[in-house]
Structure 1
Amino acid sequence: MRDIPDEMAARIERGAATLCHVWRLERADGVVTGFTDHDRDLAVDGLVCRAGSGWTAVGLAAGAVSAAGALDDAAITEADVAAGLFDGAKVELWRVDWSEPGLKVRLWAGTLARMRREEGRFLADLEGPLAKLERVVGRTYGRMCDARLGDERCGVAAAGRRCDKQWETCVGTFGNGVNFRGFADVPGDDFLTAYPAGSARNDGGSRR
């Protein structure tokens, strides 16, 4: 739950013209930089936040989001981005009253997963507190085999040959059903509309 000062809440409610956004980045090596969309540099908690950086963000969700801005030789250099110095940085976005910088509320916090260059600007991939829940961990269920033909999990000596990762091909062509790494019986979307047919075998067994 956000702790919003009463006066700040009142100014946000009435849409005060003195409100701006402030980004705070703390790199893994301890270097802290700040940016603001105000038209002048702004000192917040002793940190000078640079104006004119062009920082923008899309969809500040709890999971993964992205941000973009201009490369600034004094703050975010191409060399630092290429070296990955901002990767893993802690990121905070604040709503601040520039006329009284002590009045502020934190809108979002997360991690800068990766920063890259693109046509004179940077693109940053940000991860919110729930981003870890969006990651795929371990194997996923699917009808196709997720092994590579001829690798250790597959076990088939098939150098130079290609396979479509289907159960039928694995069994019929290679006789390797015991090592099939897919789930051929996983129901697909067609299962939702399937119904018993008089000419079909309706014994509750596999549909293969």
Structure 2
Amino acid sequence: MSGISVELESHLSGEITTHCFCWIIRRTDKVVFGFTDHDRTLLIDGVSCEPQTGLSASEAASALGLSVDTAEIEGALSSLAISDGDIERGAFDGASVETFLVNWAAPEQHTLLRSSRIGTISRSGGRFVAELKSSSVDLDKIKGRRITRQCDAQLGDHRCGYNGAAQKGTVVTVLSDREIVVKGLQPPDGNWFRNGKLTLANGGMNVVLAHQPYGEGIRLSLRDAAIPDIMVGDAFALTAGCDKSFAQCKAKFGNVANFRGFPHLPGNDAVYNFADGKGNFDGGPLVR
């Protein structure tokens, strides 16, 4: 192994070893956490690694060349440092994770096994699984723009240029973890906020599946159970739903001049239409 001290290498070569794993998580907001699968606190590079957090690591897959190395950290949300709300609001997205092999009997004997970045985090039944990716993942990032039929701008941003995409309101009733009644919204029609983004003042985010009048307010059906819980009186901002299509940009928002896609490009469907003889190939535009 490269980068291992003589003392740690000698220890690992012995018949009996006292080693464990430690993880140091460095979030993009400069907050640092330390965890270990040992039963007591270990000090690694000046960071106290919290014991018995329920964290465990999967086998790490490494590869030569430019492919992306992967691993996973799985654990229960038993540490006060990692809350379900922090995961939901993306506090750990893009955080770096340093994995150390440590001689817990002599913590100064440790070596850095890998440095990764948190990718996808999934949650189920009070547990979470964080996918770790090597720095090679940067090679997969898209630089510039994609040539697609759909718009690649976000509704209301400087490239979209549409004004009035968001409305503000207040929660007046909580019917369930996915149903709330709000006031302050004035949707032009019954599908205006469908698939719109709901951003709560407490940091929570959600997607609205449907909305309909409910007494003197509007009933919102949410895609996910709210984390943290939505409370009566919570303020929020809700953007209109946009499916990124040319047709909706024209009919719903009247913003065709700022459409950031390429809807006139023929795709595979045009080839298939030519083959079955059902397509219209008069030289006119694909969309109007």
Using the size of structure 1 for normalisation, the TM-score is: 0.66
Aligned counterparts of 1:105 and 1:177: Cα–Cα separation in 2: 68
Q: How does 1:1-208 map to 2 (within 5 A)?
A: 2-14=2-14, 16-60=16-60, 61=62, 62-133=68-139, 153=262, 155=264, 165=269, 167-170=271-274, 172-176=277-281
2:38 and 2:45 map into 1 onto residues whose CA distance is 16
Task: Tell me if structure 1 keeps the 8 A contact 2:121–2:128.
Answer: yes
Larger Rg: 1 or 2?
A: 1
Q: Is the CA contact (8 Å cut-off) linking 2:23 and 2:34 kept in structure 1?
A: yes
How many angstroms apart in 1 are the aligned matches of 2:14 and 2:270?
61
Aligned-pair identity in percent equals 30
- 2:171 corresponds to: none
Question: What is the CA–CA distance in structure 2 between the aligned matches of 1:29 and 1:105, rounded to whole Å?
Answer: 25
Q: Which has the higher contact order (CA 8 A, sep 6+)?
A: 1
Is the 2:149–2:264 contact (alpha carbons within 8 Å) kept by the matching residues of 1?
Answer: no
Task: Measure how far apart 1:99 and its partner are.
Answer: 1.2
Q: What code does the residue aligned with 1:173 have?
A: K
* Structure 2 CA distance for aligned equivalents of residues 71 and 24 of structure 1: 17
CA contact (8 A) 1:84 1:115 kept: no
**Residue 15 and residue 131 in structure 1: after superposition, are their counterparts in 2 closer, same or farther (change >3 A)?**
farther
Shift of 1:129: 2.1
CA contact (8 A) 1:88 1:114 kept: no
**Contact 2:270 2:279 (8 Å CA) reproduced:** no
Superposition CA RMSD, Å: 3.3
Cα contact 2:149–2:262 (8 A) shared by 1: yes
Unmatched tracts of structure 2, length 5 or more: 63-67, 151-244, 247-260
SS at match of 1:96: strand
Structure 1 residue ranges (4+ consecutive) displaced by more than 6 angstroms after TM superposition: 136-139
Shift of 1:92: 0.4
TM-score in terms of structure 2 length: 0.50
Measure, in 1, the Cα distance between the counterparts of 2:283 and 2:98: 51
Could you tell me how far apart the structure 2 residues matched to 1:5 and 1:23 are? 19
